[in-house]
Structure 1
Amino acid sequence: MDGQGMHGPDPVTRIESDGIVVTVSDHGAEMQSLMTPDGRELLWHGDPQVWSGRSPILFPIVGRAPDDRVAIDGQGGEMAQHGFARRMTFDRIKAEPTRVVHSLTDNMATHDAYPRPFALTVTHAVSGATLAVTAVVANTGRAMMPFCLGFHPAFLWPLPGAEGQAHRITLDNGAEPALARLTNGLLDDTRHPSPFTGGELRPDPAMFDADAMIFPEGAGQGLRFDAPDASDAPSLRFTFENLPNLALWQKPGAPFLCIEPWHGMAARKGAGPEIADRPGAITLAPGESARFRWSVTIG
């Protein structure tokens, strides 16, 4: 359907191809649903009693800040975990049968904590059985602009048709990236042995008792999430562009797994509020922009 909700009170747009159906909300430019054509839902439904997120966009920080405060050259203020974009209404600037584009720019609500002009454009597009999500961040001001950008999609775990079956995450590069953990929401510099063996991880809920598993480097540019012994279950094939950090997260006991590609991470334990000092932060000069993209193909 072309631009469902474009002219009415419903702030959700539906896009679809012959292999995938996606809905995206104006609130946070957040995907609300990811379905196969036969109606199998793959995205967590956002039960607020468990976790209200579904696929939030993380900007201008990823993760937590010390005392929930950030700064740019000493100026700033309070900022909640993962930044403000996920909590704001974007402008829907284009809606087509297979693509919807949203935009967020600086305003009075952002200036106190983040004193920089910016433009964040998010595009969701479908083709065949593939969804691609692209974010472009532009510095529209006259000063240097530090930021982080991340994606936080939550997929059903178990996958439909794979209830009771072991699941698997397989890195395309076959690597065994070192594991980092959070301490009170901040990144610990300690590196732990990789839970991957030959690029493969069998996720278990106990792995998330200590919060997210974070892989600051080495996870590569793609992975697969599947249930190898469930012949009727879909498999999800991911690619990442300009997103060198990876996190995996489950809220304890919840039936979803977040597969999160980032550029930038939580502030280091013991660090100050400056966004530019966060691991993986990017700084754009006036007039510059940066592009980030993840995709998932349903198999």
Structure 2
Amino acid sequence: MITIQNNKLKATFNELGAELTSLINLETGKEIMWEGNPDFWGGQSPVLFPTVGALKNEQYIFEGKTYELPRHGFARRRVFDIKNSSENEVIFELKSDGESLKIYPFEFSLEIKYTLVENKLTVSYQVKNLSENEMYFSLGAHPGFAIDTKNGLNYNDYEIAFSNDEKLEIHPLIDNLISNETQTIELENKTLHLSYETFAKDALVMTTMKSRELILRNHKNTDKVIFTFSNFPYFGIWAAKNADFVCLEPWQGIADLENHNQELTKKFGILKLEKNGDWKANWAVEIE
């Protein structure tokens, strides 16, 4: 485990997946991240790369050849190198190798940088195309934030405030694939009130959400998490059944559409990088 901290926050990471496993508010001692209880969901903040969500039949086609990839790609199951670290910042790197090329035929570098400044953790991603030709990929974040159901509180006391949305257009999931149909969730004063039933039909998947700032808060006290992101056009909100967390997930890419022909270059939301090209995005969580 790798740890960085300042006088406000302490963050811990696992080299497996370069995953954020703990974020502690040092002023209150409160843990911000989901505990990773495998009875509900063993993840905490996996990186989704080089695909987000499920592929139809866990397969894709590129240049006439069929490849297999698990849901959310393989990066979360790979050990990252530590490229650089200091007291309040760490940079992890994953590069393509012989094993990755068997299932994903592109040479790449993926860097994830975690930086603490005051009461904010910023997570920055950089993908570089090291191949001789164009590279196709998606990337998503999947951080799970703890919901306090102790001390007289319950899940229904929490809500998510959106900076720029009056309603949410949701793409339902059908066998982990994205429906072409949409459903509308009307918000109350740009706010989604949480309950265990919110995720009874799986994640809320959005491709047209306007907000780039969300606030997870408890209306019974002053607990607040401010979540911001940049260069991620899509978003998911999810929790496992009856589990005390909620995931706020900015994505570049989504699961396959239910009618997708499995061609990687035609996949909705896929990014194309030219030779020597790079792509950057970030999200941040501020604790109040």
TM-score interval w.r.t. the shorter chain?
A: over 0.9
**Aligned residue in 2 for 1:213:** 204
**Aligned residue in 2 for 1:258:** 247
Q: Percent identity?
A: 27
Q: TM-score, normalised by structure 1?
A: 0.92
Q: How does 1:58-97 map to 2 (within 5 A)?
A: 58-97=48-87
**Aligned residue in 2 for 1:224:** 215
1:133 corresponds to 2:115: no
Tell whether the 8 Å contact from 2:165 to 2:209 is kept in structure 1 after alignment: no
User: Aligned letter for 1:94?
Assistant: N
**Aligned residue in 2 for 1:287:** 276
Deviations for 1:29-61, whole angstroms, at most 9, x for unmatched residues?
100101100321111111223211000000000
Matched residues in 1 for 2:187 and 2:177: separation? 23
1:43 corresponds to 2:33: yes
Aligned match for 1:243, one of 228, 232, 255 = 232
User: Aligned letter for 2:85?
Assistant: A
User: Aligned letter for 2:50?
Assistant: P
Aligned match for 2:112, one of 122, 132, 141 = 122
How many residue pairs match? The answer is 286
**Root-mean-square deviation (CA), in Å?**
1.5
Which runs of 5 or more structure 1 residues have no equivalent in the other structure? Answer: 1-11
Aligned match for 2:23, one of 34, 48, 68 = 34
Matched residues in 2 for 1:50 and 1:14: separation? 26
Higher strand share: 2
Which runs of 5 or more structure 2 residues have no equivalent in the other structure? Answer: none
Matched residues in 1 for 2:11 and 2:150: separation? 17
Matched residues in 2 for 1:160 and 1:195: separation? 29
- Report the CA distance between 1:94 and its aligned residue: 0.8
Matched residues in 2 for 1:107 and 1:239: separation? 33
Deviations for 1:109-148, whole angstroms, at most 9, x for unmatched residues?
2112210111100001111000000110111111111111
Matched residues in 2 for 1:194 and 1:87: separation? 34
**Aligned residue in 2 for 1:23:** 12
Partner SS for 1:109: helix
- CA 1:162–1:279: 2 relative to 1, 3 Å: farther
- Higher mean C-alpha displacement, 289-298 vs 169-178: 169-178
**Aligned residue in 1 for 2:97:** 107
Matched residues in 2 for 1:49 and 1:254: separation? 9
Tell whether the 8 Å contact from 2:18 to 2:79 is kept in structure 1 after alignment: yes
Partner SS for 1:206: helix
User: Aligned letter for 1:20?
Assistant: L
Matched residues in 1 for 2:70 and 2:41: separation? 16
Matched residues in 2 for 1:46 and 1:297: separation? 21
Matched residues in 1 for 2:263 and 2:47: separation? 21
- CA 1:159–1:290: 2 relative to 1, 3 Å: farther
Matched residues in 2 for 1:179 and 1:16: separation? 37
**Aligned residue in 1 for 2:190:** 199
Matched residues in 2 for 1:76 and 1:99: separation? 39
- CA 1:159–1:18: 2 relative to 1, 3 Å: farther
Deviations for 1:203-256, whole angstroms, at most 9, x for unmatched residues?
12112111101111124211100012224xx20001110011111111101111
Matched residues in 1 for 2:283 and 2:149: separation? 20
- Report the CA distance between 1:25 and its aligned residue: 1.1
- Report the CA distance between 1:195 and its aligned residue: 4.1
Partner SS for 1:110: helix
User: Aligned letter for 2:84?
Assistant: K
Q: TM-score, normalised by structure 2?
A: 0.95
User: Aligned letter for 2:14?
Assistant: S
User: Aligned letter for 1:271?
Assistant: H
- CA 1:186–1:18: 2 relative to 1, 3 Å: same
Matched residues in 2 for 1:55 and 1:148: separation? 17
**Aligned residue in 2 for 1:267:** 256
**Aligned residue in 2 for 1:190:** 181
